[in-house]
Amino acid sequence: MQLLDGKKTSNDIKNEIALEVQSIKAAGGKVPHLAAVLVGNNGASLTYVGSKVKSCQEIGFDSTLVALPETITEDELLAKIKELNEDDNLDGYIVQLPLPKHIDEQKILLAIDPDKDVDGFHPTNFGRMALEMESFIPATPFGIMELLERYKVETAGKHTVVIGRSHIVGRPMSILMSRKGNPGDSTVTLTHSRTKDLAEFTKNADIIITALGVPEFLKADMVKDGVTVIDVGITRVDDASNAKGYVIKGDVDFDGVSKKASFITPVPGGVGPMTIAMLLKNTLLARKMRSARNK
């Protein structure tokens, strides 16, 4: 069994990007600039956005945190999005989700300039991805593809079962794994909460990508020997014996499944660190695309 180490791989990617940024600076070019829009003070969102800003500093990007009050109106937020779209100094930005209940998330995401949508959530980017055209791929699926490629996991002709059909992970993964090329060329089954006898699918899968959010859902008796398992799940589970009062669990019963797997991601330290690394990679791509258009 080989561990797909997202922590190490994400650090490798950040180092590669940092070298590119140094080259851009040495040539007198503009370094990539990423902004994050944070509405309100959701604890998890604050932590996540803080780590993005820190990562930008580490690799030499410019970064801006646009902190807005929880009470902001939808129209005011749309006006801020328009401002960011028109800011030539900005290469890409993300709007941290979830947004307050009085704001229509879909309306906000649709207002983002697809050329600055480094989260890859805009329908234009999603459609381009599905059509195998150059686009910004959502950061978590992009990170999974990068792990599969760097660890040389064979995907061509394999049966991939995706558990979960979210627009952020499950659905894009089903598209990416079936695209032509490497990684890809896989036969994909997309399963979800309404799938009957889900274990019948997972038992025959060569690759399982699970983004269900149910702690330790995937057990050893649900997989075959030699399976590759990508665990996107991340759930806090109360644990009085832990100093923090909780432990982080994935969708996979790691102790059991790892004994049968050929490749597996740990939780934490697997897919999670890759998400931020690929957001940075998308921002670098956005800078290169803007630079090419301005020539």
Q: Is 2 a catalytic residue?
A: no
Annotated binding residue 72:
no
Annotated binding residue 166:
yes
DSSP string, the chain: -EE--HHHHHHHHHHHHHHHHHHHHHTT-PPPEEEEEEES--HHHHHHHHHHHHHHHHHT-EEEEEEE-TT--HHHHHHHHHHHHH-TT--EEEEPSPPPTTS-HHHHHHHS-GGGBTT--SHHHHHHHHTT-S-PPPHHHHHHHHHHHHTT---TT-EEEEE---TTTHHHHHHHHHSSSSS---EEEEE-TT-TTHHHHHTT-SEEEE----TT-B-GGGS-TT-EEEE---EEEE-TTSTTSEEEE-SB-HHHHTTT-SEE--SSSSHHHHHHHHHHHHHHHHHHHHHHHT-
Which of the residues 14, 80, 96, 231 is marked catalytic? 96
Which of the residues 52, 80, 116, 281 is marked catalytic? 52
Annotated binding residue 6:
no
Annotated binding residue 164:
yes
Q: Is 57 a catalytic residue?
A: no
Q: Is 119 a catalytic residue?
A: yes
Which of the residues 5, 91, 117, 119 is marked catalytic? 119
Active-site residues, by number, are 52, 96, 119
Annotated binding site for NADP(+): 164-166, 234
